[in-house]
A and B are shown apart, each in its own frame.
Chain A
Amino acid sequence: MTRRVRLWILAVGGAGLAALLVAACLELPGFGGTSHPYGDRAVRASLARRTANTIASINFDQRAFDTLGEMSILFASVLGTVVLLRQTRDERRAKPEPAYVALPVRRYALIVLPVALLTGLYVIAHGQLSPGGGFQGGVVAATALHLLYLGADYRALERIRPVGLYEVGDALAASAYLVTGLAGLIGGAAFLANTLLPYGTFNTLSSGGTVPLLNAAIGMEVACAVVVLLARFLDQAVEIEQEGGT
């Protein structure tokens, strides 16, 4: 099939898809409408369980099983990346040369690193109160660690980042989520049901029953997953070389 024929097929298919999608859009309830039956019920359920952030309540309580699915996708894609990017037999490791980094940039990286880590933890810990949660905070904390690569050099990052430990942490966090769910079963309710812990006082750190626990598990899982992913990518891009080349 030549490029030209392919473009024609794309144009025809795209036009058909566009027509269907636009027709669908015209039938959707208008933007900004007042009818949100699911939303209203979710808000009521969240307030009944004293979780201030309704979105956290949906993610880790009302639809916790769905989040388990999302977490398994995350886990599987990290696993896939680790398998795909392992060092093969015809590759060797070359020591990367350190880059020159100007002093202000280096200082900035070293000052911001702890601030960013703290922000990540803050975002995770306040997940059930204010915007934030395990998914966002985990990424922020993991990105923070890589300031060492940006501001100093790759060797400095390697020293504080034993990848094996983070892989274990990833698996532990995933199983912690499962165990919290199973605990609901043992407690005589459904899997991942939020009946185990007292709901606490509205708008405090320990409110919401199992929501903070699952939130923390997801935070750890995401942080470890991102660190492992970036470790593999950095390995490939910076260190690993094909045999016989430079």
Chain B
Amino acid sequence: MNGWTVAATAALAGGVGATVWGVATGPLRRRVVAQNLSTSLACPSLLLLAQGYDRPSYVDPALVLALLGPVGTLVFARLLAEDLEKDPPKAPWLTYAASGFGAVVVLVLCVVGGPDRAMGKLLVTGALLVGGNLIASRALAGGIAGSRHG
């Protein structure tokens, strides 16, 4: 094990473990936030693992997760809109903290990796991750209003 995989282990055990607990219990508003946070914590862990294993090609799963994770949250925001409207989630600080974690990880990896083609991919992943999570949490908090048949 090296420092990168230790950091990834910590993020997984603490962060993703907490989101598993959050998504399995409690009211719906807590569960959707936990689902969104699981993306924003698992994606930086994947990036850390790619660095820890010294395999740039492992960044691809992280890129796909940064793309489709928020899309999944949008699915829930859209199709559970009626229930979420009655009881909207309010946890902006958690979302900001998780996005900040993602941004820090991406920046550190960029500094370590140096400027090359892999850095472009990293930056795209980071932008998609942070933007996607903020937008998805906005969508959960009433960004999509329910219609009967929409």
Query: Residues of A at under 8 Å CB distance from B?
Result: 94, 96-102, 104-105, 108-109, 112, 115-116, 119, 123, 130-132, 136, 140, 143, 147, 149-151, 153-154, 238
Contacts and interface: CB of A to CB of B under 8 A. Distances in A.
Contact of B149 (A94, A123, A131, A149): A94
Contacts of B145: 99-101
A101 B143 contact: yes
Contacts of A115: 67, 124, 128
User: What secondary structure prevails in chain B residues at the interface with A?
Assistant: helix
B17 interface: no
Most-contacted residue by chain B among A94, A104, A154 (CB, 10 A): A104
Contact of B74 (A96, A151, A154, A238): A151
A232 B7 CA distance: 44
Contact of B143 (A94, A105, A130, A153): A105
Interface of B: 57-58, 60-61, 63-64, 67-68, 70-71, 74-75, 77-78, 81, 124, 128, 131-132, 135, 138-139, 142-150
Nearest to B146: A99
Nearest to A151: B74
A96 B135 contact: no
Nearest to A109: B74
A132 B145 CA distance: 36
A130 B63 CA distance: 13
A102 B150 contact: no
Contact of A112 (B67, B78, B146): B67
A102 B63 contact: no
Contacts of A97: 147-150
A235 to B, nearest CB: 12
A99 to B, nearest CB: 3
B20 to A, nearest CB: 23
Contacts of B148: 97
Contacts of A102: 138-139, 142-144
Contact of A105 (B57, B128, B139, B147): B139
Most-contacted residue by chain B among A115, A147, A150 (CB, 10 A): A150
A179 B1 CA distance: 48
A197 to B, nearest CB: 24
B71 A131 contact: no
A109 B131 CA distance: 11
A131 B59 CA distance: 9
A150 B78 contact: yes
B150 A154 contact: yes
Contacts of A116: 67-68, 71
A216 to B, nearest CB: 18
Contacts of B61: 131
Contact of A99 (B58, B81, B138): B81
Given A102-B144, A105-B139, A123 B64 contact: yes
Most-contacted residue by chain B among A94, A97, A101, A154 (CB, 10 A): A101
A157 B145 CA distance: 18
